Each structure stands twice: as C-alpha cells, then as structure tokens.
A = this chain, B = another copy of it.
Amino acid sequence: MNNSKDGFQWTPEHGLQHGLPTLGTIDPLKKHSATSQVYDVIVVGAGYAGLIATRDLTTTGHKVLLLEARDRIGGRTWSSNLDGYPFELGGTWIHWNQPHVYKEISRYGLQDDLENSHDLTRGINSFLVKTGGQFHKMSRAEEGQIMDKVLRKFVNVDGTFCRTTIPMPGSPSLGSSPAVQELDKLSLRDRLNQIESELSSIEKAVLEGFLAITCGAQDLTDASFVEMLRWWALNNYDMALFMEQCLTYKLRSGQSNFARHFFDEALATGRLEYRFNAVVKSINQDQADGTVTITTEDDNNNTSYHAHRVICTIPLNVLNDIEFIPALPPLKLQAANQGHVNVVNKIHVEAANSDLRSLSGTIAAPYDKLTYIFGDGTTPAGNTHLVSFGSAFTGVHLRADEDIEDTKRALQAFIGEGEGERKMDVKRIVSHDWARDRFAKGAWEWLRPGMTRKEVLEGLRERQGRVFFASADWAMLWRGFIDGGIEDGARVARDVARDLRGL
C-alpha cells in the first residue's frame, strides 16, 4: 500500500502530513507498450466511470489504455487505511437499492463487507442542534421527526410530496415534463423563500444547514432545487430512507479496496495498459487516419497516445481544462463553463472519546465552518471516528490544511465547551480538499438552476464523433453518487463496443 499525494492528515505526534496511504495506488505506476500503437480504446480517468468502462471493455476483448492524472484509482471516491481503519475521503455510503453499484458488490462477493456504520447505543446518543450559540438537545427520534417535517414541507410542490412531479426518478425523459421544466428555474434559496414563513426559526435553521451541506454550494441561489427533488424521489419520498440510503452503509474494507476489484479484473485480462500521473492536455479527433490522439503531460514530458475510440470521464468542473479538437459542442461547452456548485468540505476526526460514538449534531445559522457531524465508526485503537461536513458558504469555508487549530475549534463547537464527555480529544484529522483539487474542482455533482432539463443532460451524455463521455455528473438514476459513475461508465462502454463492431 503506497502513499498517494492526495489528501492529508494531522496528528498530535506528526502534525500535518500531505499524502495518504491507499489501496488505490497501483505499482508500478505505468505499464504500456510503444506509444506508436493504436489502442481500441483510451479511457481517460480512473474513477468508477472509467474503471467500469475499462473492465467491461477489456473483459470483452478490447485493448485499452487507461490514463489517469492522479497517482491512484478512484477519482472522487477513495479511502485511506490508517492504523487499520479506512477513512473515506470522498464517496462513502452505498445501499442495495442503488442498482449499479450493488450489482458490482454482488459480482465481487462483497455483500458481507457492507456494514451499518451507525451505533446508537453509547454516550451522547443525541442530536445536538446549535443555533445562535445555543444548544438544543433532541433525541434521535426527534431528529428524525424534525428532518422529516422540514423536508416534506420543502419538497411538497404538488400536494403529493413530489410523487406526482417525479414519479420515476430514473426516467431519462424526466427533465422534459412541463412541471419539472418550470421547477428547474428555481434555486434552493428560491424554494426556501417560498416556504420559510411556515417554518419555526429552529426548523428553518436545520433545513438550511441540511441544504448547505447536501448541495455544497457557496450560495443556495446557485443550487438547483430539482436536484433535491430528485434525491428525495430516489429515496422513495421518505426522509428515514434518505438517511439509510445516503449516509448509513459503507464498506468495511474501504472504497479503494472495492475499486481495486475493477482494476485488477481488467488487468488480469492481459488487455489493459495504463499510466498514472498522466495529465491529459488535449483530445484530438482531427486525424487523417480516423484515430484519436491524446496528448498528456507526465514527468514533465508531453506524450501522445492513439486509439480508435476515447472514453472521457473527466468531471464536469474540469472538462474545459482539456483542449478538445474539434471544440466541444455548444451544450457541453456551456454546461462545463457553468459547472456544478458543490465545494463542500468533508473532515474526518478520530477522537479519544467513546461517548461521541452515537452523536449526531448540526450547527445551524449563524453557520460555523463545520455544520454537520455524526459518529461513523470505532477505530482499532478504540477511538471514535466521526465524519463532519462543512458548509461552503462564503465566509465560513474551512481550509483544514491551512489552519488545523481552526479545524479543531470547528469540531469542538459541535459539542460546546470541552469538558468531560464533551471534550473532543483529537487524535487524528483526515481530509481531502476537493474544492482545490485541480482534477475535480468540487465534490459530488450538484447542478445549477436551469441545468436539469432533458436537453442539457442528453447533451452531456452525447458522444462527439469518436469521443464518448461518461460521468456520475450526468447519470440518469443516482446522479452524483458512486452508483451514477458506475451506471454511466457501463453505458458508454457498451456504446463504444457496439460502435467498434459497426452496429
């Protein structure tokens, strides 16, 4: 298990250290033949979309080159094993109701690797809401009730809690319905303004805090309301299921172990070549011989590779950092210029305090730098692992690696003054700054108002000549989730295979 340059941790013993060990690093970092050869397919990006495309194409007989700008697989989903415990730096929770990812859990026999990371039996088994410096202590049942109440009010655009408006969240024609097109104009802030007179001050604070870390936008006026309606519909219009499907079940062995199964299966075919630390600069279809040429910068050299087809899994927010020849079509170009808005912070803390194991807490208006926390595991050392999310709102956005004391204060703020069971005795802080990650420029996708229409999403999914585009950012079902990356990578792999057969 080698270190990736990605992520960082802080411990009292060693202070801040950049880079984290992960099963997602591949040794050696490159394995390919002469660059003059023409591959069947070059896959750009080794996140789940790229990994499943690579696996599906190599196992069905295609010669594939996988190019990855980072030094590891997994993209926006990866785990670091620290003292025998996997910290999930990006995408984490999955569920058997998420079809594309669970199908792969089945394939790799990892059903019993899935565990409920919550433990509601110990210590501060409460939901602590802090608003205006005051703590409101609620039972976990009351947490469920207030969340359910405010969300139901928020999504009830049709008197049926969104069931009429979005009856089937995975329908590709969803974004063409008149009701959805109308709602597509609204931001989360617009919708909050519509209903805020019906909310108590604490309800409003809890809702706004939830929205802040769910969309991860710097301003709720930038974040699409329809995206929240889709999440709600995907979770069967039910807040309890929302929490179960999106924040409860994770892999004991970590996401990078799961991702390795895809990579290793592809490699075992003998048809996979790859190169890490290869930053794609251009994708050029303007070749006389009908191939595509990709030029990368790696080890300070420019190298060109050639293929009959290319699968580009570059996230929406960095798509425009690559030169496409010919230029991207207008719909893709515009969507990439707009980008998605999620730059949320995710901070792990390992604390020597088992009283915190069952804690759930939120800091609502006025916001602190971290706004949501819950116990997510017990480390082999017997410490409590908590995961927290920080609002990206302007003025509070945390830079954990620049000021660790500020981060520790923000963590302590969830439980008030640090005495006795309320002391956050920090043994480790682990994170990855996705907002400043040059290969992601953001966390999970959250589109802007105006971007959930059918033609925008179809435009993002559409091939351009011999270049195909796959990403969780424009998936049909669990868009923005691990499931969506796997869905879209598999879709495009199949399209490419058919195209190469001349179908």
Contacts and interface: CB of A to CB of B under 8 A. Distances in A.
Interface of A: 59-61, 96-103, 106-107, 111-112, 114, 116, 167-173, 236, 238, 241, 244, 249, 268, 476-477, 487, 490-491, 494, 501, 503
A98 B167 CA distance: 17
A491 B103 CA distance: 10
A112 to B, nearest CB: 6
Given A100-B106, A106-B477, A107-B491, 4 more contacts: A60-B61, A96-B168, A98-B99, A111-B476
B99 A103 contact: yes
B100 A173 contact: no
A242 to B, nearest CB: 12
A107 B495 CA distance: 10
A226 to B, nearest CB: 18
A155 to B, nearest CB: 17
A98 B100 CA distance: 10
Contact of A241 (B173, B236, B477, B494): B236
B107 A490 contact: yes
B106 A491 contact: yes
A100 B103 contact: yes
A167 B116 contact: yes
A112 B171 contact: yes
Nearest to A495: B109
Contacts of A244: 236
Nearest to A494: B107
A111 B236 contact: no
Given A111-B172, A116-B167, A168-B114, A97 B97 contact: yes
A490 B103 CA distance: 9
Given A97-B97, A99-B99, A112 B173 contact: yes
A244 B233 CA distance: 13
Contact of A111 (B59, B101, B171, B268): B171
B172 A476 contact: no
Contacts of A503: 268
Contacts of A241: 236
Contacts of A103: 99-100, 103, 490
Report, nearest first, the 5 A-B pairs whose CB atoms are least far apart.
A99-B99, A99-B102, A97-B97, A103-B103, A96-B170
A169 B244 CA distance: 14
A173 B114 CA distance: 12
Contacts of A476: 106, 111
A477 B96 contact: yes
A54 to B, nearest CB: 14
Contact of A99 (B97, B171, B491): B97
A444 B170 CA distance: 27
11 contacts: A60-B61, A96-B168, A96-B170, A97-B99, A99-B100, A106-B476, A107-B490, A111-B171, A111-B476, A114-B171, A236-B241
Nearest to A269: B60
